[in-house]
Structure 1
Amino acid sequence: MNKPPLILLPGTLCDERLWEHQVENLSSFTDVSVVMLTEDDSIEDMAHRVLKEAPERFALAGLSLGGIVALEMVKQAPERVLKLALLDTNPRPPREEQMETWKKFIDMAEGGEFRQITKDYLLPVLIHPDSQENEELTSDIVKMADNIGKSAMVRQMRALISKPDGRAALNKIGCPTLVMTGENDTVCTMDMHVELAENIKNSKLVTIDHCGHLSSMEQPEAVSAVLQYWFQC
């Protein structure tokens, strides 16, 4: 039986580099594409755009913002998603303090401080403390943000501010689902992933050791191995 094509969705201020290792690893099994989430300012519209361009049926993996959009895609077109992987994903609606932070980032970007957002605010929480000294990794994270740019980041922030509560539809997900998180992810914490796994019927929770929020970049071999197993099962 032919394997379905695989769509990978990046997180906020992330581009194809987020999934570079996984694309290389999984391309021998199926057609893999990374779809950017930069054109829309709502989760619903992001999901609609990806679905409009996607094959009729496909496997789907998303990290962080990508996971939020993946959940919305399953909600909009459950019959089209054959397998689902949610990495470092928060299904809950935004808290007041989160919305204030995202609004602050919009103000910073529009006030000429776009590059400071990643360097001063995001890098310290996106990866494990031990990885902060990995210059290649931190440089790639900054380069991704620079590539996404100010305008797309503002749209992504607005989408997060207005994001829906993804929990109500979790028990309606019927496809095999992988829930994966970095052990030390402080952005999307372990309890969020436990909640995902407990409410999605056919799901498995996997934790990546010594790893923060950007798991696919920080521990690429481990994440690729788990995704390969999920995809081939």
Structure 2
Amino acid sequence: MAETLVLIPGLACTGRLFDAQIAALSGSRNVVVADHTQDDSVPAIAARLLKDAPERFALAGLSMGGYVAMEVMRQAPERVERLALLDTSARPDTPEASRDREQLIVLAQAGRFEEIHAKLWPRLVHPDHRNDRALQATVFGMLRDTGAEAYARQQHAIMNRADSRPLLSGIEIPTLVLVGEGDAITPPEIAREMADMIEWASLAIVPRAGHLSSLEQPERVAHAMRMWLEEG
């Protein structure tokens, strides 16, 4: 039976976040996208994923997806064959970040998605991509598709996530830690911190990519993930 790869998108993102990687990797394995929209806590999202996933699988998450992936490792590490943490952090939310999230929830509940997008866009991508209209349309489309209720649930889950740093030293499976070199939200030093804590981790820093590396440099990210999946 082909190995299954479970992908977890980031905040206000859908499976479109991984379109290029799904196309590149699905030939030799089953690729599924986890549902991270129904629950308002990271443990509940992880539990839903585990209920729907096969007994053993490879797991990759970007940003919020990484928070969920680490929670999966907390709940059922024996079921994960290999792990990829993309543009994410093992640290808990800061009080400042939580206050910003509360303000964004208010905008979402008022239907003001354009304002949310305008606030976040400059920090989401590498400076070289800020004028990329097609990329911007994709990101805004995912935000609209997520919707206000799911967006609020996701933000509450992120605000209350655990500190996963104590978990990392116990991870003993092939692990990819990947980050865009221009990621302003979870910068390379955060990725290095995680990679240093995981014994079998490899670190990939993607040039000309920000926080949405899988969209900004799809071929490079797909190549890094293929190497990770084929690692012995």
* TM bracket (short chain): over 0.9
What are the residue-to-residue correspondences of 1:61-140 with 2, within 5 Å? 61-118=60-117, 120-140=118-138
Which stretches of structure 1, 4 residues or more, deviate above 4 A after TM superposition? none
Q: Is the 8 A contact 2:113 2:143 kept in 1?
A: no
Which residue is 2:189 aligned to?
191
Q: 1:204 to 1:3 in 2, by over 3 A?
A: farther
Give the superposition deviation at 1:115: 3.0
CA distance in 2, matches of 1:92, 1:208: 21
1:227 aligns with 2:231: no
Could you tell which deviates more after superposition, 80-89 or 31-40? 31-40
Give the superposition deviation at 1:35: 1.4
Give the superposition deviation at 1:135: 1.1
CA distance in 2, matches of 1:131, 1:36: 28
Q: Is the 8 A contact 1:115 1:146 kept in 2?
A: no
What are the residue-to-residue correspondences of 1:1-233 with 2, within 5 Å? 3-118=2-117, 120-233=118-231
Give the superposition deviation at 1:3: 4.6
CA distance in 1, matches of 2:110, 2:129: 30
- % identical aligned pairs: 41
Matched residues, number = 231
Aligned partner of residue 3 in structure 2, secondary structure: coil
CA distance in 2, matches of 1:79, 1:110: 39
User: Could you say what the CA RMSD is over the residues aligned between the two structures, in angstroms?
Assistant: 0.9
Give the superposition deviation at 1:29: 1.5
Aligned partner of residue 138 in structure 1, secondary structure: helix
CA distance in 2, matches of 1:92, 1:149: 26
CA distance in 1, matches of 2:213, 2:129: 11
CA distance in 2, matches of 1:121, 1:145: 13
Aligned partner of residue 6 in structure 1, secondary structure: strand
TM-score (norm: length of structure 2): 0.97
Structure 2 unaligned blocks of 5 or more: none
Give the superposition deviation at 1:134: 1.2
